Amino acid sequence: MAMKRLLVLLSLPLFCCAQNPQVNISLGPKSIFFDSSYKKDAVEAFKIASDILNSSAFQDAIKKSSFVYPNHCLTCKILDERSDHHFFGQTVLDSLYKHNVASLNLDLEENEPKGALGSTCPYWDNEDTISRANYQAIYIDMKELPFKYRLAVNLCHEYMHYIGFCHPDAIDRQPDDDTPAPIAYRDDVAYKAGWVAYFIAVKMANGAGK
């Protein structure tokens, strides 16, 4: 009986105390805002984005995925197309949690309601660690969410670019505003991460937890 209790105690750390990898992304000190009143939202958005990226729901969704190889950035605008093979979602998670702390200088621009929600270069081609966000485009998107959650979703998407995943060339269209484009959702790391983050953010904003 004593030996059984000892074996149970020895096994506890393996099963009860293991933790998922974590990353903490935060607002950089050189961030720029077209309206300084949005700085508070931005600080909270980075915290929400970290919670989403660290959630088991996000990790499980990415881990179960398989992506086309030309997701990898060589530079900010050039894809690595040396392979046509697929790679597993664990590769994405390994890149995501490689460094557990990161600070991005957000450039929140008012811009126009059309166009991309943001843009971010990979860290090796991004000396000033800038992530640009288009306020107008973000504001009209995801209308059911408070702005800080909308910005958090976009940050999750942009952070995939920062760690080295660019959009593949072939992207299909969304059937409607509430449904992801099926091929892009299957093949595109940043696109899928953004949608997964959105689904999680909706639950968080409605009080359903992470």
DSSP output for 90-134: HHHHHHHTSSSEEEEEEEEE---SSS-SEEE--GGG-TT-EEEEE
Q: What is the pLDDT of residue 8?
A: 36
Q: What is the rounded CA–CA span in Å between residue 210 and residue 194? A: 15
pLDDT in tens, 104-132: 999 999 998 888 999 999 999 999 999 99
Residue 9 pLDDT > 60, yes or no? no
CB atoms within 10 A of CB 131: 24
Structure-model confidence comparison of residues 207 and 49, the more confident one = 49
Token pair in block for residue 70: 């030309």
**Can you give the pLDDT at residue 4?**
40
- Give the side-chain half-sphere CA count within 13 A for 95: 22
How far is Cα 110 from Cα 26, in angstroms, rounded to an integer?
Answer: 21
Cross-strand pairs, 109: 134
Q: For CA atoms 47, 158, 125, 70, give the dihedral sign.
A: positive
**Residue pair 193/157 in contact by the 8 Å Cβ criterion:** yes
Distance CA 156, CA 106 (A): 13
The pLDDT confidence band at residue 171, using thresholds 50, 70 and 90, is low
Tell me how far apart the alpha carbons of residues 117 and 132 are, in angstroms, rounded to a whole number. Answer: 8
Q: Which residues contact 157 (CB under 8 A, 6 or more apart)?
A: 117, 118, 190, 191, 193, 194, 197
- pTM score of the predicted model: 0.86
